[in-house]
Structure 1
């Protein structure tokens, strides 16, 4: 880089910091204005803002929020090593997230035709569509290559332990890890894309995109369990988000970790490619044996209703287990994992097609769907949640012959913020 490039780069960084500091200084006033319709994360939403989810509150939105139809996850790597620049970025991101979640986009009454628009205008006329924006901090934010870039290594929670390499993992480095994650979820795909574009714009010169994945859920009615691309209902057994005791037990971080993470949660996210063409050729009986549930009703094998209790001891007339020993439902059940549970919040994804090596005979190269599951879960501690459950599933689950984990991320999602604060503020106290 020559001297001219250096000057341009430094000027860009200074301009960004100026905007961020101004936004942070204005945060208390602007945030109070946006927060007026909502008193807390659990209060009822007024009819006039029925398409909005609260941003400010005890917990971040997008965790216990009823799942939306679209999501866009993005992991960032920090370019800066300056603590003040990281804090300025988090302030700017927080203020932008609060604004987008609370107020629909407006047309600039006095646009300057000689300047690039301050807003892309992509969501003008669109409702908030229950937009939530959720932030997470990855292990490398605390220490990377042995360097404590931001003076926070001592505050890394024990629960943010690196995930082990699981049996069958084919993780792509470009789809794994990240210093910070941002996930936008809403009922409108353009709303979530707009939210991430705005975050990327604010990060210019300070952080760069590492990897991203968008996703969607099947059309479903409120209270129904969505289906995945394999045709099965996905997420029948889950931590009930409206049960405070179970959410405290399994999802929200408590006194066991640092204070800055109390009332936050730990998120694991893994894009899982599914061999859909191979799966579609399987007999219905084999599909149901593999999953451990009836395809159309969602009921456990041998039962009639989706939410009937799993009977892991039930056998047929010949003494064979009704729910196969290596079925997905059995291996994922709390009864098979010493009671461990996770809050599952998963989306389908479809990236078009890709050339891959098949995992079944004759193992040739093929162009097929680059599609699958954007698996995501929240828990109080990944070591006793996802890792405990998946170590066994990675070895024995019958679904493994159709699925390949191609990416992975682990992030500490701090608690929600109050108006005038920024996400993760106590980490830097």
Structure 2
């Protein structure tokens, strides 16, 4: 679809977004108080939802190539995306179509689509700032294409993208419903480059959820209630273009775990590689997952090896405090590969103020750690998560476009 046809399709999506729900909330959910839908975070705000919140039970990460032509069509696309995200995160009954029109909704959530705690988090890749839309001068200062690290086996079909969406909700059908709806209403402006479904395990027995290696994942995140720490580590720096205020950088890494090999490694060796107890999540010199490892009392790594994941990732010295990241990861399961091996692993995600100062510094410290023998990164990208939508007249990327 090209020219006026695509523009009219996107304008139609905007109209559908404005009238996309005639009532909000879910009558079906209200009838069953034993299983209420989770309350979604507010859609409007300085920051997008899905950054500070813990990963939800079900998720989809989808990267898109923008096929809109020119800045006007890109603006239509971003408005349509904003309107659909606003409607979907609010829930409700879709507007009635004309007699001969297709249904306004896929129907997989029933006639009164619950919000289901849905979050829609949108980011843009470095490739969006090429010469197609005249945005080169607006490129976030630290936004580049993801580099290749030692041990990577990157597949170009699973890397990068002009735009990325991270959808999260309590239920699989909620995120799939949102993905289908967004793709339907933006079909003339963008198309999927790659997508992967994720899930987060329930805490077992408590505390931080586990990854598919059996270890708790994301224990040492910075405190999201500490505004000073978030301004220092997560939100866009003051030297960025003015429009980026309220945004952040997102790194996504698709990491296959070679679980058949991992499952044949003895538990003591596994724990030495991570530096934590598998059962409790505690550092090997502690009792609880929230205990701080005492590296100063163990300078030669007798208890927690110097090569362990936690010691390499976060040495807990003043020089590395500024490289901390906010991890927001989920697990994936893609079945089996052509050789009959299980294809599962981690949709690693993190937010930070500067992916080079933070993520890349951590990644470089992890080079040649023992865990590299059991993982194989194959995709992902660097993205800038757009500032939040302030009100009903605002839209995603407005400052970037204007």
Query: TM-score, normalization: structure 2?
Result: 0.90
Q: Are 1:328 and 2:300 an aligned pair?
A: no
Residues 244 and 207 from structure 1, CA distance in 2 versus in 1: closer, same or farther, beyond 3 angstroms? same
Aligned length, in residue pairs: 387
Conserved? CA contact 2:10–2:188, under 8 Å: no
**Post-superposition shift, 1:396?**
2.3
**Post-superposition shift, 1:66?**
2.8
Counterpart residue number, 2:355: 382
Give matches, 1:49-88, under 5 Å.
51-88=39-76
Counterpart residue number, 2:29: none
- Between 197-206 and 10-19, report the one with greater CA deviation: 10-19
In structure 1, what is the Cα distance between the partners aligned to 2:2 and 2:388?
33
**Post-superposition shift, 1:206?**
1.9
Stretches of structure 1 that go unaligned for 5 or more consecutive residues are: 1-7, 35-47, 356-365
Conserved? CA contact 2:10–2:185, under 8 Å: no
**Post-superposition shift, 1:198?**
1.0
Residues 218 and 206 from structure 1, CA distance in 2 versus in 1: closer, same or farther, beyond 3 angstroms? same
**Post-superposition shift, 1:162?**
2.9
Conserved? CA contact 1:137–1:179, under 8 Å: yes
SS at match of 2:212: coil
Q: Are 1:403 and 2:371 an aligned pair?
A: no
Counterpart residue number, 1:41: none
Conserved? CA contact 2:211–2:331, under 8 Å: yes
2:141 to 158, 161, 169: 158
**Post-superposition shift, 1:91?**
0.2
CA deviation profile, 1:349-398 (whole Å, cap 9, x unmatched): 0000003xxxxxxxxxx4211100000000011111101110221x2221
CA deviation profile, 1:114-168 (whole Å, cap 9, x unmatched): 432111111225532211000001000001xxxx110101111221133332111
In structure 2, what is the Cα distance between the partners aligned to 1:320 and 1:134?
40
Q: Are 1:225 and 2:222 an aligned pair?
A: no
Counterpart residue number, 2:236: 253
Q: Are 1:120 and 2:110 an aligned pair?
A: no
**Post-superposition shift, 1:222?**
11
In structure 2, what is the Cα distance between the partners aligned to 1:295 and 1:276?
15
Counterpart residue number, 1:3: none
Stretches of structure 2 that go unaligned for 5 or more consecutive residues are: 25-35
**Post-superposition shift, 1:298?**
0.4
CA-based RMSD of the aligned residues comes to 2.5
Counterpart residue number, 1:338: 320
2:88 to 94, 100, 122: 100
Counterpart residue number, 1:140: 127
Q: Are 1:15 and 2:17 an aligned pair?
A: no
Conserved? CA contact 2:57–2:171, under 8 Å: yes
Q: Are 1:216 and 2:199 an aligned pair?
A: yes
Residues 152 and 405 from structure 1, CA distance in 2 versus in 1: closer, same or farther, beyond 3 angstroms? same
In structure 1, what is the Cα distance between the partners aligned to 2:216 and 2:204?
13
- Between 80-89 and 15-24, report the one with greater CA deviation: 15-24
SS at match of 2:164: strand
In structure 2, what is the Cα distance between the partners aligned to 1:222 and 1:180?
37
Residues 250 and 334 from structure 1, CA distance in 2 versus in 1: closer, same or farther, beyond 3 angstroms? farther
**Post-superposition shift, 1:315?**
4.2
Conserved? CA contact 1:314–1:321, under 8 Å: no
In structure 1, what is the Cα distance between the partners aligned to 2:298 and 2:369?
20
In structure 1, what is the Cα distance between the partners aligned to 2:104 and 2:205?
36
CA deviation profile, 1:330-360 (whole Å, cap 9, x unmatched): 11115266212000000000000003xxxxx
**Post-superposition shift, 1:415?**
1.1
Counterpart residue number, 2:278: 295
SS at match of 1:323: coil
CA deviation profile, 1:311-333 (whole Å, cap 9, x unmatched): 224449xx752111111111111
**Post-superposition shift, 1:183?**
1.2
